[in-house]
Amino acid sequence: MTDHKIILITGANKGIGFAAARELARAGHTVLLGARDPGRGAEAAAELTAQDLDVRFVHLDVTDPDTIKAAAGLIDAEYRRLDVLVNNAGISRDRPHPPADLPVAALRETYETNVFGVVAVTNAMLPLLRRSPAGHIGNVSSGLGTVGFLTDPDSPLWRYANLLGYNSSKAALNAITLIYAHSLRDAGIRVNALSPGFCATDLNGHTGHLSADEGGAHIARQVLSPGEDTTGVFLNENGGTYPW
């Protein structure tokens, strides 16, 4: 077994996911670029393969069980294992609604991608991750979902504390990360939350102070960081960890 890894990234046709895919492929790994839109996914993968990078488009809509099953089947047939799963796909439907006015349908839509989609993809990929000598699941999260942030009015990002759907879904994702970390520890599969930092992306109307390229580089570095015992933590984009 070499250090070469098979890595699946969901929601990777643009933004942070695309940048992470590029960085990980540049590091010499095979990257499976998951995207729900076949046209955009294939185009994104082609852009990277044109740079002589080992990237392959995989049709994967985290809210569609059929595409999840098909993606797992493809990976099994072609690679027999999965070393790293990056659950990156995420949405926000909060703006312009204050919490009391957010339609429940919008909240459900957010959870379908940010929470239920992560669980569905993780469970489907677990048999493949168990075949890796050092499986790693990285859930792209946000400090907006931490108790520390949600209770700190002095935080520079306090103005975002009222995002009911996004923040609560990331809080749920953080709990899911800890639960899977505990349950998979004996199997040797690490599970951590990953922070790209506050990046300017379509999700936040490009209001972040970091670029998507910078966020993707942070995710790639966290994914490749050594530490077989590092599991059940929220990795900080600047090194170390965040409090939950």
Asked, as a colleague might, if the bond just before 96 is cis with ω within 30 of 0, I would say: yes
Count Cβ atoms below 10 Å from residue 225 Cβ, excluding itself. 12
Q: Is 69 a catalytic residue?
A: no
Q: How far apart are CA 6 and CA 74, in angstroms?
A: 13
Tokens at 219, concatenated: 């995710």
> Is the distance from CB of 15 to CB of 201 less than 8 angstroms?
yes
- Are 29 and 55 a contacting pair, CB within 8 Å? no
From the candidates 69, 79, 111, 166, which is the catalytic residue? 166
CA distances from 190 to 67, 126, 150, 218, 233 (A): 25, 12, 27, 18, 10
Let me know: does 163 contact 116? Beta carbons within 8 Å: no
Q: Which of 5, 160, 170, 180 is catalytic?
A: 170
Q: Is 111 a catalytic residue?
A: no
Return d(Cα 160, Cα 138) in angstroms, integer: 24
CA angle (215 as vertex; 45, 84 as ends), nearest 5: 60
Catalytic residues: 166, 170
